[in-house]
Amino acid sequence: MDEERALYIVRAGEAGAIERVLRDYSEKHRATFKFEPTDEDKRKKLCEGIFKVLVKDVPTTCQVTCLEVLRILSRDKKILVPVTTKENMQILLRLAKLNELDESLEKVSEFPVIVESLKCLCNIVFNSQMAQQLSLELNLAAKLCNLLRKCKDRKFINDIKCFDLRLLFVLSLLHTDIRSQLRYELQGLPLLTQILESAFSIKWTDEYESAIDHNGPPLSPQETDCAIEALKALFNVTVDSWKVHKESESHQFRVMAAVLRHCLLIAGPTEDKTEELHSNAVNLLSNVPVSCLDVLICPLTHEEETHEGTTLDELPSDKTAEKETVLKNNTMVYNGMNMEAIHVLLNFMEKRIDKGSSYREGLTPVLSLLTECSRTHRNIRKYLKDQVLPPLRDVTNRPEVGSTVRNKLVRLMTHVDLGVKQIAAEFLFVLCKERVDSLLKYTGYGNAAGLLAARGLLTGGRGDNWYSEDEDTDTEEYKNAKPNINLITGHLEEPMPNLIDEMTEEQKEYEAMKLVNMLDKLSRRADVKDLYQDGG
């Protein structure tokens, strides 16, 4: 009945009546995602009627209401086939300001129309193969990039940017050809990186370093949503970017990695939004060539080096040792390098482990990222080794028992999901410089057997990658306990008591005679067996 009444007014009514009836329909079906099959034909005709209204000269409020209803109806894939035509797509492109090459976004009153048109396009393109083909024919990706350039530095139109980016993400998700077009023809990498810079209000202090205000306000919900959509679109654009051959590409990826470092060090409006933001940043960092990830760490600035009027060089020698990690001015410092971003990644990884579910989707990306960073960048590996595998002191418990990061990762080495246990074991192996003896010290042979068997290292040795030759230093506690450590379980086992020491002389004599009698019986049985075999 709702569709029938709305269709009657849309066909015969004036703009005011159309707006009223469609507003009622929109409010009633705002949360509707499943539709009655019996009314399918009416919904198709209602969509066609709405497109006829949108080409007329109607007030902006009427356009917005028409687009809201069209967005709701476009959730139903079955009705999109007859309404997804080139003419109708062009109507939406015009309303979204995607056809005008030179027109600027000055009329604030038109912004709601632009946003609703982009929302409709997102639904239609995602749900209709015909719309996807028309998007290629109409060169929609180029039009979206042009709209982004108009509004990339203007914060008051974040909704337009957000849904422009979402549509760009949907297009690049569904068409691999568009990824290549975005990357090279449309210069999508620098463009989307600049969108992120604008969302984060980044101020550069050096080529790849930005100023971080630890006491600043969190991102607004609009800025966070815009950043998340840009990160998702960038992921598709860079999904095949492991190999970089040009110096200009290397620079672009380093700038993007520096922006992502900034992203990891700021917060969203809520804890959940911060995690979503950081999760998308981790996914994108996984696409960055590992050689460009050196910008995740950087030398300390003079202000960071100064701590209560004292520089690192002036601190006592035991505080400047290479393996000493200190916290100064809210900055994680290791060996004279700022490790804040790596520390955030480590905490993010631990939170994902603690969730206890969806390890393959939620945990493996950050574990893979930390593994590759550790394999390539010495300071990152040494910092992570210091945090995850500190020098052993108490070895009374098994390596998988406890609440430390090491305990949690060792437990994952025997996880039922093959991919999860492989990447967890690989991460620990890399932190141990791919040395079997070092890995066994922290995990025990039983937990590491799967990795060692896959690598052909069950008898010992080391992996194929080269690492520095600096040696681990065992603590005195570990050295004293080492002779009694069970190599299979990886923990200290108390020597078994000698039962003979607790026996009296009579008991010892009794047990000795029992043993003699048992040996005599065994000997007699062997003689009988030999007799039968000889045929005697």
What does the pLDDT look like over 181-211, one tens digit per residue?
999 999 999 999 999 999 999 999 999 999 9
Higher-confidence residue of 22 and 498: namely 22
pLDDT for the residue numbered 154: 62
Find out whether 45 and 5 touch, Cβ atoms under 8 Å.
Answer: no
Pairing between β-strand 485-486 and β-strand 337-338 as defined by DSSP bridges: unpaired
pLDDT-wise least confident of 1-15, 161-175, 266-280, 379-393: 1-15
Higher-confidence residue of 474 and 71: namely 71
pLDDT for the residue numbered 153: 57
pLDDT for the residue numbered 496: 64
Q: Does 330 have pLDDT greater than 50?
A: no
Q: What is the mean pLDDT of residues 59-73?
A: 95
Pairing between β-strand 325-328 and β-strand 485-486 as defined by DSSP bridges: unpaired
pLDDT for the residue numbered 318: 44
Q: Does 471 have pLDDT greater than 60?
A: no
pLDDT for the residue numbered 114: 93
Both tokens of 127, joined, read 């749900």
pLDDT-wise least confident of 18-27, 53-62, 449-458, 469-478: 469-478
Q: Return the domain boundaries, the chain.
A: 1-138, 360-492
Q: What is the mean pLDDT of residues 396-420?
A: 93
DSSP 181: I
pLDDT-wise least confident of 1-5, 231-235, 317-321, 455-459: 317-321
pLDDT-derived band at 329, boundaries 50, 70, 90: very low
pLDDT-wise least confident of 45-54, 194-203, 416-425, 514-523: 514-523
What is the pTM (predicted TM-score) of this model?
0.84
Going from the C-alpha of 219 to that of each of 273, 284, 376, the distances in angstroms are 10, 19, 32
pLDDT for the residue numbered 210: 93
pLDDT-derived band at 241, boundaries 50, 70, 90: low
Q: Does 326 have pLDDT greater than 50?
A: no
Q: What percent of the chain has pLDDT over 90?
A: 59
Q: Does 233 have pLDDT greater than 90?
A: yes
pLDDT for the residue numbered 73: 94
pLDDT-derived band at 173, boundaries 50, 70, 90: very high
pLDDT-wise least confident of 364-368, 417-421, 451-455, 530-534: 530-534
Q: How far apart are the first and last CA of the chain?
A: 104
pLDDT for the residue numbered 99: 82
pLDDT for the residue numbered 101: 63
Q: Which CATH architecture has domain 1-138?
A: Alpha Horseshoe (1.25)
Radius of gyration in angstroms for the set of CA atoms belonging to the chain, rounded to a whole number? 33
pLDDT-derived band at 533, boundaries 50, 70, 90: low
Dihedrals phi, psi of 530, to nearest 5 degrees: -65, -35
Both tokens of 436, joined, read 């079997």
Q: Does 309 have pLDDT greater than 80?
A: no
Long-range contacts of 4-7 (CB under 8 A, 24+ apart): 4/42, 6/46, 6/69, 7/42, 7/45, 7/46, 7/49
pLDDT-wise least confident of 140-154, 201-215, 380-394, 461-475: 461-475
Q: Does 288 have pLDDT greater than 60?
A: yes
pLDDT for the residue numbered 301: 67
Q: What percent of the chain has pLDDT over 70?
A: 86
Q: Which of 45-59, 237-251, 449-463 is the most confident on average?
A: 45-59
Find out whether 195 and 231 touch, Cβ atoms under 8 Å.
Answer: no
DSSP 458: T
d(Cα 271, Cα 483) in Å, to the nearest integer? 47
Which stretches of 29-84 are DSSP H helices? Answer: 40-54, 60-73, 80-83
Residue 103's CB: how many other CB atoms inside 10 A? 10
Find out whether 172 and 185 touch, Cβ atoms under 8 Å.
Answer: no
pLDDT for the residue numbered 320: 40
Contacts of residue 34, defined as CB under 8 A and 6 or more positions apart, other chains included, come to none
pLDDT-wise least confident of 36-50, 233-247, 253-267: 233-247
Q: Does 325 have pLDDT greater than 80?
A: no
Q: What is the mean pLDDT of residues 437-457?
A: 91
Going from the C-alpha of 366 to that of each of 86, 377, 431, the distances in angstroms are 43, 16, 15
pLDDT-wise least confident of 15-24, 179-188, 330-339, 371-380: 330-339
| pLDDT averaged over every residue in the chain | 86
d(Cα 471, Cα 437) in Å, to the nearest integer? 12
